[in-house]
A = this chain, B = another copy of it.
Amino acid sequence: MIELLFDQPHEECGIVGIYLPQSIASLTQAAEFSLFGLIALQHRGQEAAGIAVSDGKEFSYFKGQGLLSQVFDNNNLHKLTGRLALGHTRYSTTGASSTRNIQPYIIETAHGPLALAHNGNITNAEQLRQRLLQKGIGLTSSSDSEILLMQVAGATGQNWVERIANAMTEWQGAYSLVISSRSALYALRDPWGFRPLSVGKLPNGGYVVASETCALDMLGVSEWSEVAPGELVRISQHGITRQSVCPPASTSALCTFEQIYFSRSDSIWDGRSINAVRERFGAQLFKEAPVAADVVLGVPATSIPAAIGYAHASGIPYTSGLIRNNYIGRSFIQPSDELRKIAIKLKFNVLPSSLAGKRVILVDDSIVRGNTSKALVQLIREAGAAEVHLRIACPPIQHPCFMGVDMGAADELISHKLSPAEICQFVGADSLCFLSMAGMMSAIGSTNGYCNACFTGQYPVAIPQNGKDRFEQTGIGGLEDD
């Protein structure tokens, strides 16, 4: 996905849970492990982060806005002592008041303290929210994650497993969750399996739960498995127990966009290497839309594997003619109107020596609004390229997402408004081809079990009308994704 300059599409959140054995070397290791796991998940959310740790009696926590390296230092991290930890990194919080929206959320309940970190989006959140308010419960945030936590706190059941399972029956939509009581760690995934979540065994005998396997890998995990759709995992001093508490949906609905864009390329999901899937996207894209050219470029960083796949399949040399400037953050000083052309150059360097006089194939993972594609095509032309052929490693995105990916409203999506030929003209490319739906699924290696609603408009869960309204009118903005 070519990111919109300074207005990139919202990304998802990353969550991590740590349970360490009594034999740990240091009381702050759970917090450290959480931090390192979150670092591996930083690509899922760069705007705020928090870590909560239970020492068996109560939680301590630290939260802040910014990258993990800006939020945490030895000082605040090492005040978080205990063997259970939850971590969360999220994509957006705005305004002075927003600190209260940073996760993990922690509350006192009749059964002791409880903390929760959430990745996903609950489609019936408004209905659940009204139900809680009618019961006389006050809520402190606008987040659907607080609703989940309050529902668990008030659910019936003899223990947390029963209470969580009972609460889950009412939740529609996408949720991968880690929950911690005083003394046990819980991990669960919605019955559709929209978002990834895996659990692994740490070399020291503890456990780690995380959004992606790259975080498990970071912590030296070799033995691991995915949390299954509808499954609830409990980790305590009695070891790990796993049970299916919610019947999985008849057909799972894994988010294809995790394969395309969100997940880190060294993660494994649904039994597949993300990097390998993306290389196959590129190879398939060549099969569907070959073109005579001299070099293949990818838009850094997420499109590089598809570009390499295209290059290998076509025999056209891959080159690194486009480099991303990693020093530019999202909230950095924006050039004034007069300097708008500088903006794209702040983010991408083009290497004229690789491009001058060449016929260039530019591979991107997706097109959302089209503005950055246009700017990049122009940049490549100015670097002397003879031709620019744009190849997109997924089908046209024509519908908003209600399960946690803020694509924007329908009429902000360029493929909702324009045909591929019109988009080609808009961005100024010599040719433009999208990967076909069938080609994409065959590259993934699965014909069903994935949610492709953003391409097809076929949603696997019911979407409330007011949610639809929000997304089908201009300028209404996206759903909040936690």
Binding site for B on A (CB under 8 A): 25-26, 32, 35-36, 39-40, 42-43, 46, 60-62, 67-69, 72-74, 76-77, 79, 95-97, 99-100, 106-110, 114, 130, 133-140, 142, 149-150, 153-155, 214, 217-220, 264-266, 273, 275-276, 279, 301, 304-305, 308, 311-312, 317-320, 323, 325-329, 332-333, 335-336, 338-339, 341-342, 345-346, 349-354
A151 to chain B, nearest CB (A): 9
Cα–Cα distance between A266 and B320 once the two chains are bound (Å): 11
Cα–Cα distance between A109 and B61 once the two chains are bound (Å): 26
Question: B327 near A68 (CB under 8 angstroms)?
Answer: yes
From the candidates B72, B100, B135, name the one contacting A333 in the complex (CB within 8 A).
Answer: B72
- Given contact pairs A135-B135, A214-B349, A266-B352, a sample of 19 additional A-B residue pairs in the complex whose CB atoms are under 8 Å apart: A25-B336, A26-B336, A39-B327, A39-B328, A42-B325, A43-B327, A69-B329, A99-B99, A109-B139, A110-B133, A114-B138, A135-B136, A136-B137, A136-B155, A264-B349, A266-B323, A266-B350, A311-B317, A312-B317
Question: B327 near A220 (CB under 8 angstroms)?
Answer: no
From the candidates B61, B138, B325, name the one contacting A150 in the complex (CB within 8 A).
Answer: B138
Question: B108 near A140 (CB under 8 angstroms)?
Answer: yes
Closest B residue, CB atoms, query A24: B338
From the candidates B35, B140, B153, B332, name the one contacting A106 in the complex (CB within 8 A).
Answer: B140
From the candidates B69, B139, B317, name the one contacting A108 in the complex (CB within 8 A).
Answer: B139
Across-interface contacts of A108 in B (CB, < 8 A): 133, 138-140, 142
20 contacts between A and B (CB under 8 A): A36-B346, A60-B96, A69-B332, A69-B333, A76-B96, A110-B133, A110-B134, A135-B136, A136-B154, A137-B137, A137-B150, A137-B153, A138-B150, A138-B153, A265-B323, A266-B350, A266-B353, A275-B351, A308-B317, A311-B318
